[in-house]
């Protein structure tokens, strides 16, 4: 009986200990969820993925590969609409071809304007005449290459804030939905990848394939590949690069793309090199500093474009005027200096560009 009593007491103590452990685990889980809801999404689990031989083969067996770049911030990389700019000076004439253009600051507006009589038109409105694909809801999956998430500031936090903001609803008019919570920050992935020289877009395809085969494909995922400081990337066989230390080839800050892999199907992704460099960073000072706001600005730009024109130049693009022909929702609202006002996105204030709104015939941060 005495032994039984002792055993019973031991069992009771063990039971209490297990209850305490379970309660601690539940508290940790609940705290993690609360933090995530408050925008602390850098705490979310990160899946480590490894590029292998199958990813290398898959990168060479693709179709429907489309790309749209965000040019580096130089005077030669921007075009303007035929309207005058804010200073009243004549518009800058286009000098070299590029993939994306900016609208003059005179287009920035958050108020409605009267309708033009036929056959007039606003030279910057977006159209989708071919009824190309759009993204009605998606997870954004950050893919961190050779560095922790903090190397780029707080990209997952920004994606969470963006998805919970009124700003994201600027895209509603193009996708035909107004419900909340359609764009979320999904599982992140970390990748260790050897870097000997400048990477190529083929390397990006390998990295994207390694993540997408585990986390999912199709229009419900947008992968954001973040490259650390000092790593350049070029399009294979060209001199078009992200290369801050080599101005002769420094052509773009980021790009968004889509591709169909023969084994896993269609994948949407963006490539986000390090943005806190001259030519890509937003004008300083900014609320969160050059790293966070410059990363967030380009991430926002590419996310909106991946939503409204996921397969570049088949969705919503400007076609009304030659100077802005082919521009997407973000292109029309760049300024030549990447200088923007600040506004709240979710729980934080950022310096990021607005997005083009057909509703206002200008650049807006509200739907």
- As averages over each run of 10 residues, the pLDDT of the chain (367 residues) reads 38 43 37 36 78 98 96 56 27 27 34 61 83 97 97 97 98 98 98 96 98 98 98 96 97 98 98 98 97 98 98 93 89 92 96 95 93
Question: Can you tell me the distance from the alpha carbon of 222 to that of 206, in angstroms, rounded to the nearest whole number?
Answer: 15
pTM of the model: 0.79
Q: Output the pLDDT for position 95.
A: 24
- Tokens in use for 35? 């933090």
Question: Can you tell me the distance from the alpha carbon of 91 to that of 88, in angstroms, rounded to the nearest whole number?
Answer: 9
Q: Output the pLDDT for position 336.
A: 86
Q: Output the pLDDT for position 26.
A: 37
Question: Can you tell me the distance from the alpha carbon of 104 to that of 83, in angstroms, rounded to the nearest whole number?
Answer: 8
What's CA 271's distance to the chain center, in Å?
8
Q: Output the pLDDT for position 116.
A: 64
Cβ contacts of 338 within 8 Å, gap of 6 or more: 73, 280, 281, 282, 283, 294, 297, 353
Question: Can you tell me the distance from the alpha carbon of 367 to that of 359, in angstroms, rounded to the nearest whole number?
Answer: 8
Q: Output the pLDDT for position 98.
A: 27
Q: Output the pLDDT for position 211.
A: 98
Question: Can you tell me the distance from the alpha carbon of 35 to that of 340, in angstroms, rounded to the nearest whole number?
Answer: 29
Crossing angle, helix 289-308 and helix 155-163, to 10 degrees?
50
- Residues 270, 256 contacting (CB under 8 angstroms): yes
Task: Give the residue from 210, 245, 212 showing the smallest Cα distance to 229.
Answer: 245
């Amino acid at each position: 009986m005495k032994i039984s009593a002792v055993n019973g007491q031991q069992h009771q103590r063990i039971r209490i200990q297990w209850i305490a452990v379970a309660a601690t685990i539940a508290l940790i889980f609940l705290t993690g969820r609360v933090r995530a809801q408050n925008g602390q999404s850098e705490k979310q689990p990160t899946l480590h993925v490894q590029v292998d031989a199958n990813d290398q083969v898959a990168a060479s067996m693709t179709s429907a590969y489309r790309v749209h770049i965000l040019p580096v911030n130089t005077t030669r990389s921007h075009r303007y609409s035929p309207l005058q700019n804010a200073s009243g000076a004549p518009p800058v004439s286009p000098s070299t071809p590029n993939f994306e253009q900016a609208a003059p600051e005179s287009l920035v507006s958050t108020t409605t304007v009267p309708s033009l009589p036929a056959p007039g038109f606003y030279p910057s409105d977006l159209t989708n005449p071919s009824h190309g694909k759009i993204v009605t809801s998606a997870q954004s999956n950050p893919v961190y290459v050779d560095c922790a998430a903090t190397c780029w500031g707080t990209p997952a936090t920004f994606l969470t804030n963006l998805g919970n903001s009124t700003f994201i609803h600027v895209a509603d008019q193009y996708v035909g939905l107004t419900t909340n919570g359609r764009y979320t920050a999904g599982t992140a992935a970390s990748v260790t990848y050897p870097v000997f020289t400048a990477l190529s877009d083929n390397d990006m395809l390998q990295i994207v394939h390694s993540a997408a085969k585990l986390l999912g494909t199709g229009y419900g995922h947008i992968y954001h590949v973040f490259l650390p400081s000092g790593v350049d990337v070029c399009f294979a066989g060209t001199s078009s690069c992200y290369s801050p230390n080599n101005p002769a080839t420094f052509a773009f800050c980021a790009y968004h793309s889509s591709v169909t892999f023969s084994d896993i199907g269609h994948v949407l992704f963006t490539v986000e090199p390090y943005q806190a460099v001259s030519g890509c960073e937003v004008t300083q000072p900014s609320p969160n500093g050059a790293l966070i706001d410059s990363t967030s600005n380009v991430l926002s730009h590419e996310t909106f474009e991946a939503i409204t024109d996921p397969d570049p130049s088949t969705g919503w693009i400007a076609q009304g005027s030659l100077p802005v022909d082919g521009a997407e929702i973000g292109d029309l609202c760049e300024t030549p200096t990447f200088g923007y006002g600040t506004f709240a996105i979710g729980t934080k204030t950022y310096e990021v560009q607005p997005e083009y709104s057909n509703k206002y015939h200008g650049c807006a941060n509200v739907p």
